[in-house]
Amino acid sequence: MILAKKDVSDLKMDVDEDSDGGATPEDSKSGKEDEIYGGVTEEELIERIEILQADNIRLLEEKRRLENEKHFIETDNLRLQREVQRLRGELARLKRPPLIIGIVKDILSNDRVVVKSTTGPDFVVSVADHIDVDKLMMGSRVSLNKQSLTIMDVLPPAVDPIVSGAEVIERPTVSYDDIGGLKEQIREVRESVELPLVRPDLYEGVGIDPPKGVLMVGPPGTGKTLLAKAVAHETHATFIRLVGSELVQKYIGEGARLVRELFEMAREKAPAVVFIDEIDAIGAKRLDVATSGDREVQRTLMQLLAEMDGFEPLSGVRLIAATNRPDILDDALLRPGRFDRIIEIPLPDLAARKEIFKIHTRNMNMVKSLKFDELAAKTEGATGADIKSICTEAGMFAIRDNRRRVMKKDFMAAIKKVLEEKEEGESEPGVMFA
């Protein structure tokens, strides 16, 4: 704080009183009135005080800056200490020896367990103190210490990635309104699949068991998979989709294990619908003369038959299968109790083709004079997939002519192109590649 002039005057008077007493008033009047102490004038003293105050302010700012830096360094130090602890834990985890996977075969007394390891032989091992022996059951997966083979942890059941990836998470956008000409088939599928899951009390009231499975048969492109997509869209149950060829595995027992895990997952997530497309890949007739690969496929089929109508009931699980080769399916697969309902998906007739044309041209920009009766009459023998391809080709012809509207001539050209290519593909033998 800067001193006032009064304070400086008081200081000057104090200095005068402390000075030599022999000085006379004349000496004070002789030009020394402006001296305060030691030859320092009032202006110099004020200047020194201002300098000291500026230094004091600078030191205070420096102190605050250093305190902020100290706080930042302490915070960073704590962060680095936590990072060091995390890295030490990660390093300890990386140094931890690997564990062996085993299967519990029997539980003995005195906390001793018979375990079959993945290396092959069986071992009688002990259980770690932190493991509850009551949680161990025959068939449980456990992890074993590499050296002492002590049970270190109880693992969850193994699920093959093929099975776990078969569950449909994102529902298809296809609904029953997007399927034309299959009203009777849609009704039978809903009675066999949806109704038992939604209203099981209706079947209990009548005193019958609902159908366990539905087999859809028909030529390619008639809407079998499309109907399954509509079921997945409409039903609120878990929908599991699998292609029959995915169940064909190289090693013995792998395909049967996949089938078993597939139905186990379906029972756990019940109510559930299991859809197996192209079931003829594993459901072909069993012959006396067969290779090792054929025998493995037959083992997979026998596991499927046991799961469909075996010891464990399929409560809350419904099965849908599709094939275009029903003539090669095994008789055991077609008997009642497995597929109780066989739904034939035929080629669309005239009315069905007209309805399919309306569905696929719903969002197309067409001329108003277009008549679907004429288009349906021109597509005799075409499937639903063929009609969808015809509508796409007609749009492509309109784009080729730089038009926004699809005209009748575009559909006629598309019908000629699609159906002629189909006839050529059916008449000419396919090219064989080595």
Q: List the structure tokens of 417.
A: 């192109």
Q: Tell me the chain's radius of gyration from C-alpha atoms.
A: 45
pLDDT tens track, the chain, 434 positions: 444 444 445 544 544 444 444 445 445 444 444 445 567 788 888 888 889 999 999 999 999 999 999 999 999 999 999 999 999 888 887 777 778 888 888 888 777 888 887 767 788 888 888 777 777 888 788 888 877 888 888 887 766 667 766 777 677 888 888 888 888 988 988 888 888 888 888 888 888 888 888 899 988 888 888 888 888 888 888 888 888 888 888 777 788 888 888 888 888 887 888 888 888 888 888 877 667 777 888 888 888 888 887 777 777 888 889 998 888 888 888 888 788 888 898 888 899 999 999 888 888 888 888 888 888 888 888 888 899 999 999 999 999 989 888 988 888 999 888 888 776 666 555 444 33
Sheet with 238-243: list strands edge to edge: 238-243, 272-277, 317-323, 213-217, 341-344
* Secondary-structure class of domain 164-344 per CATH: alpha beta
Residue closest to 169 by CA, chosen among 119, 229, 240, 68: 240
pLDDT for 428:
54
**Torsion region of 315: left, alpha or beta (phi above 0 gives left; psi -120 to 50 gives alpha):** beta
Integer Cα distance of 136 and 115 in angstroms: 11
pLDDT for 155:
82
pLDDT for 269:
83
Three-state SS string over 138-198 comes to CCCEEEECCCCCCEEEEECCCCCHHHHCCECCCCCCCCHHHCCCCHHHHHHHHHHHHHHHH
Q: List the structure tokens of 289.
A: 């003369």
Instruction: Report whether the peptide linkage leading into residue 271 is cis, meaning its omega lies within 30 degrees of zero.
Output: yes
Phi and psi at residue 189, to the nearest 5°:
-65, -40
Task: Report in angstroms the alpha-carbon separations of 304 from 72, 257, 268, 310, 338.
Answer: 67, 10, 18, 9, 10
pLDDT for 4:
43
List the domain boundaries for the chain: 1-18+32-96, 100-155, 164-344, 350-424
Cβ–Cβ under 8 Å, residues 151 and 129: no
Integer Cα distance of 114 and 355 in angstroms: 65
pLDDT for 6:
46
Task: Report in angstroms the alpha-carbon separations of 368 from 180, 196, 354, 365, 405.
Answer: 22, 44, 16, 9, 10
pLDDT for 131:
79
Integer Cα distance of 129 and 224 in angstroms: 56
pTM: 0.64
Identity of the residue numbered 26: E
Cβ-based burial of 75 (10 A; exposed 0-12, middle 13-18, buried ≥19): exposed
Domain 100-155 bears CATH identifier 3.40.50.720? no
pLDDT for 81:
93
pLDDT for 23:
47
pLDDT for 425:
63
Residue found under tokens 């009203």: 183
Q: List the structure tokens of 220.
A: 């390619």
pLDDT for 159:
67
Give the largest CA-CA distance in the chain: 147
Integer Cα distance of 257 and 246 in angstroms: 12
Q: Could you tell me how many helices (H) and strands (E) the chain has, helices first? A: 15, 10
pLDDT for 59:
92
Integer Cα distance of 290 and 298 in angstroms: 10
What CATH fold (topology level) applies to the domain 350-424? Helicase, Ruva Protein; domain 3 (1.10.8)
State how beta strands 213-217 and 341-344 pair. parallel
